[in-house]
Structure 1
Amino acid sequence: MADHGSHSALVHADPATHDLDELLVELAGRTASGYLFGGLTASRTRRLHIADGVFEGGLSGVAFMADAPGGLRLVSRVTQGCQPLGPTRRVTGADGNVALQLDGQPALPLLLAELGISLQRPQQAMAALRATLVGLTDGEDTALARGGQFGIDTRVRHLIGLDPAREGIAIAEHLQTGQQLAFCRRDVAAARRDLVRICAEIRDELAPDDAPGAEGARILGALYVSCSGRGGPHFGAPSAEAQIVQHALGDVPLVGFFAAGEIAHHHLYGYTGVLTVFATA
């Protein structure tokens, strides 16, 4: 794509694709902006995507040129759907996908203390653990945004097991020391607030500057990719997210899809929404 002047790309991917995280980083590096947006195919049966045919596996999508006719402008934001339960901690010991130490302390006792549970009461503990997720942020990135919400660099991952012998916790991602970690849960009110926030940010970015006679960019259309774990059942009404976006952006063409994982920048997210607006330059 770099040879053809691609600025960014809309990407669809099969979640079973081998080394998908690495492929997204490589693909983003071939665009001028380093920005991808899209999602993973979601289905109750076969996971298919369409690119001049019907395929399983791999990636497909559309690249957008940096010098598109008419001066097309693209503005994109990620909205988070989870609320941190406590402070952000540094991963100071890890083995594969098992966090052994956080801030120099055993990870499992910290998790149990933060949730207020004990493994001596397994039914209560399992119910709390099933509802708990993990927000991961690379060491140099910002974990929390204003208001204590996760920032754009945080990826939410599932807690997939405990390692009592080593006092560790297993997470659905390969861990590295230096990463930041915060335990979290899905939160409808926080998700609504954050969706409204990114819509306002996009409007502000496209608004005219203070120069006399300046005109703001005109929105031509928008694409919204939402996690399949969000949507009507989570927000409490059918098309609730689309209605929030439509109310914020006005009467503009809006399309989208539910995904089994959301793509933005070079990251793979979970329980998020990715809103991309196409506007005049």
Structure 2
Amino acid sequence: MKRFPYAHATHPQWRMAAALVLAQLRAQMALPGHASQPSLGLLYITDHYAADAQDLLDHLGAELPEVTDWAGTVGVGIASNNVEYIDEPALAVMLCDLAPHQYRVFSGVAPLAATQAADGFVPQTALVHADGATPDVADLIAEMAQRTVSHYVFGGLAASRGPTVQFARSSHGALAGSGRRGAAGVFHGGLSGVAFGPDVRLLSRVTQGVRPLAPAHRIDRADHHVVLQLDGHPALDVLLQDLSITLDEPPAAVQRLRQTLVGLTAPHTPQPRGVQVPGALGDDVLVRHLIGLDPARRGVAIADTVPEGGRLLFCERHVQAARADLMRICAEIREELEPVALPAADMAAAPAPAERIVGAVYVSCSGRGGPHFGAPSAELQIVRHALGDVPLIGFFAGGEIAHHRLYGYTGVLTVFTAEEAAKPSVGS
């Protein structure tokens, strides 16, 4: 597998931005070590181009006829290696060096088959784009994960102040009767994306952007979205104690409550993998908004169904915690790609092959990005510093997808890897 060509550009007119992107892609496709005949394209646009999504996709498809399949979506911002474009017209494209039998683009008119398709394709994992306005979208994401062997999917919710569009153009066709709608490749609502087979090597990690304000509490009693009892005490009393506030001073209390988020962990959740940064949340924690108080029942209302028997902690967004956790997941990925050191007794054996990153997708919360990390493009610069100059694109989402869950205030980093080519020995 060769390095994925990628490109990004900004311009008030989408045709000019597309021309800049195409020039970059063609230059890379002519370089040694880069894919010259990629068949899968990933496309992310900011919402400035959303109204022209169909024309843009048709234009790229005509200019890159070797790319037969496309997937992507819209965000309030997009990302590429070392740079982010937030609240400005921009697009980013990455062309993946994958054989057609290694992936399947899916959508509402070309759904992903459960476990194995009629042609023998087996989905190991999937990049998923979804419309957050779709009813029961979290359940649909969980169902999509069940259609893969790993039960792990990654991606995010489209984010747009205009049309919420998804790109999903498949060379494998669509359901009978879908006609032009399936061939056009631009969709509104539902889920779409691209599934990858077992021979596509991927590493994926989730990074949180908040820190806890107090230790986690056991959820003893809840009523749908309202937590009623934590550790045997009224939930509202626990909240006020953890935040060191009182309702006798409403202005100060309201200001503090607006800054407070809630982390939820389901019952019987195993400990997160990897080394955890002190004070940071693992990827077993789902961060949700605190949406109100219930003084009559001494309860706390949360923007999600609360699982009795699970764990809850109150938290807040925090720049240093976000930076440290992002550096952690990059370090974990880098360490997994390094050759395994062999004991002295096994020195005669061949070392495990090193792997290199040939492409990456980064989906971050629309509430993160440069402003949260302290400077324009600071979040992407951390990734670049940790992973090096690798092909990377992504978008700023209305919710992030990883495992089988819908997250918030997180980043999901996924890299495509390939075995490092063996270096010739001296004298060969």
Short-chain TM bin: over 0.9
What SS does the aligned partner of 1:196 have? helix
Provide the rounded CA distance (Å) in 1 between the counterparts of 2:271 and 2:195: 30
Q: Which residue does the alignment assign to 2:159?
A: 42
One of 314, 319, 329 as aligned partner of 1:198 = 329
Q: Which residue does the alignment assign to 2:212?
A: 84
What SS does the aligned partner of 2:163 have? coil
CA drift at 1:84:
0.3
Q: Deviations over 1:218-265 (max 9, x none)?
A: 111111100000001111211111111111111211111100100001
Provide the rounded CA distance (Å) in 2 between the counterparts of 1:75 and 1:160: 35
- The percentage of aligned residue pairs carrying the same residue is 60
Provide the rounded CA distance (Å) in 1 between the counterparts of 2:279 and 2:381: 25
* TM-score w.r.t. length of structure 2: 0.63
Amino acid at match of 1:27: M
One of 287, 295, 299 as aligned partner of 1:168 = 299
CA RMSD of aligned residues (A): 1.3
Paired residues, number: 277
Q: Which residue does the alignment assign to 2:222?
A: 94
Provide the rounded CA distance (Å) in 2 between the counterparts of 1:35 and 1:186: 26
Is contact 2:279–2:321 with CA below 8 Å preserved after alignment? no
Structure with larger RCO (C-alpha < 8 A, sep 6+): 1
Q: Which residue does the alignment assign to 2:146?
A: 29
One of 189, 192, 195 as aligned partner of 1:57 = 189
Q: Deviations over 1:135-180 (max 9, x none)?
A: 0011112578451321111010000010000000000001121111
What SS does the aligned partner of 1:24 have? helix
Provide the rounded CA distance (Å) in 2 between the counterparts of 1:143 and 1:187: 23
Summarize the alignment of residues 12-27 of structure 1 with structure 2, pairs less than 5 Å apart.
Answer: 12-27=129-144
Is contact 1:88–1:143 with CA below 8 Å preserved after alignment? no
What SS does the aligned partner of 1:134 have? strand
Provide the rounded CA distance (Å) in 2 between the counterparts of 1:123 and 1:55: 45
One of 240, 253, 257 as aligned partner of 1:125 = 253
One of 330, 355, 361 as aligned partner of 1:217 = 355
- Structure 2: state its 5+ residue gaps: 1-112, 170-184, 420-428
Residues 232-241 or 254-263, more deviating: 232-241
* TM-score w.r.t. length of structure 1: 0.95
Provide the rounded CA distance (Å) in 1 between the counterparts of 2:269 and 2:322: 21
Summarize the alignment of residues 99-248 of structure 1 with structure 2, pairs less than 5 Å apart.
Answer: 99-142=227-270, 145-211=276-342, 212=347, 213-214=350-351, 215-248=353-386
Q: Which residue does the alignment assign to 1:249?
A: 387
Is contact 1:143–1:180 with CA below 8 Å preserved after alignment? no
Provide the rounded CA distance (Å) in 1 between the counterparts of 2:162 and 2:357: 36
What SS does the aligned partner of 1:251 have? coil
What SS does the aligned partner of 1:147 have? coil
